């Protein structure tokens, strides 16, 4: 039987890095390093390589997401699966963006990377890349992050460690699968089908993500709303914000929403959801026009607001779309 066809898309990141003469790490000149150092993937699939970018992911700009989604959509019929190598620092943002921009997949789109460059002893890049190809040829059809022993839905991925080889976790949701001696997919994972993907590369990148902290100045929020099209605030706990004294953010939120600039509130906590009607401080923000992000990660909330603003500037519509689950990013209540 013919081997499945997989397109390997490289964007740079640690997995492609080598040491420079000055001793620091930078992406190598050619993404061919991936196939040269991990030839085992060719036993799993016929592999083509597309070098889309060659950057440290700290230098990633949102403009790459529509470009990447269009390449996936354009080449969708030609391949049985896709593997994308990416730097870990902004990988969760890209996985969130691809989940929204290419929906209704019937094939797997797998994003991976490494904590240690392939060329160095102890690199996790080899195992991550091989496991990503194993998932890319399996009966699976979602945007997913494969890292360490976990398969994580793209809309739920979050980097939680700069040290551990299991650098990513599935925030507020069980992983879609685990990798050990074999691959075990969760029941809720979506399987291959003949679905036709929907390309929705909408983007308004003028959105700011701002943490709330003791002593925050409301004029900072006002300034951001004057210079951006949208704002995501990382609130405390259940989405709580300061509402009394000089740090009260309620007037600034009210001013922002009054100008048509949406203010979305997520939580700084890794586990849990915004429950803004629970406390008076949260309810005050809601009454000022804030939109709850519920159990979305801050990365997902930011990217989703960019995506929504790429389609509409109507505040009620933005509110409705932000609270709707498109790709499993929100646990909707029935």
Catalytic residues: 14, 88-89, 159, 279
Q: How far apart are CA 325 and CA 294, in angstroms?
A: 11
Whether 180 contacts 146, CB under 8 Å:
no
Give which of 4, 33, 8 is closest to 109, Cα–Cα.
8
Distances (CA, A) of 267 to 89, 171, 229, 273, 318: 20, 12, 21, 7, 19
Residue with tokens 């969130």: 96
3-state secondary structure of 290: coil
284-306 exposure pattern, b = at least 16 Cβ within 10 A, e = fewer: bbbebbbbbbbbbbbbbbbbbbb
């Amino acid at each position: 039987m013919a081997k499945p066809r997989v397109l390997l898309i490289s964007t740079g990141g640690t997995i492609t890095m080598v040491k420079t003469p000055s001793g620091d790490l930078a992406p190598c000149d050619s993404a061919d390093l991936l196939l040269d150092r991990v030839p085992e993937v060719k036993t799993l699939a016929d592999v083509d390589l597309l070098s889309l970018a060659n950057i440290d992911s700290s230098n990633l700009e949102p403009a790459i997401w529509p470009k990447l989604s269009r390449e996936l959509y354009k080449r969708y019929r030609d391949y049985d699966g896709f593997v994308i190598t990416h730097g870990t620092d902004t990988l969760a943002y890209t996985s969130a963006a691809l989940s929204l921009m290419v929906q209704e997949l019937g094939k797997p789109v797998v994003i991976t990377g490494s904590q240690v460059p392939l060329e160095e002893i102890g690199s996790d890049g080899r195992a991550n890349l091989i496991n990503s190809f194993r998932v890319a040829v399996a009966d699976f059809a979602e945007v997913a992050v494969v890292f360490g022993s976990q398969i994580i839905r793209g809309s739920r991925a979050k980097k939680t460690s700069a040290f551990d080889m299991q650098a990513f976790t599935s925030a507020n949701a069980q992983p879609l699968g685990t990798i050990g001696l074999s691959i075990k997919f969760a029941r809720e994972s979506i399987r291959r089908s003949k679905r036709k993907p929907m390309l929705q590369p909408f983007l308004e990148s003028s959105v700011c993500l701002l943490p709330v902290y003791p002593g925050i100045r409301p004029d900072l929020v006002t300034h951001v709303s004057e210079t951006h099209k949208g704002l995501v605030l990382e609130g405390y706990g259940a989405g709580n914000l300061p509402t009394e004294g000089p740090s009260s953010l309620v007037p600034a939120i009210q001013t922002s929403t009054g100008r048509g600039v949406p203010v979305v509130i997520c939580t700084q906590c890794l586990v849990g959801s915004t429950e803004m009607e629970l406390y008076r401080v949260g309810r005050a923000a809601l009454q000022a026009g804030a939109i709850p992000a519920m159990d979305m990660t801050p990365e997902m909330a930011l990217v989703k607001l960019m995506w929504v603003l790429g389609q509409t500037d109507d505040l009620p519509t933005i509110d409705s779309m932000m609270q709707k689950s498109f790709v499993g990013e929100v646990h909707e209540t029935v």
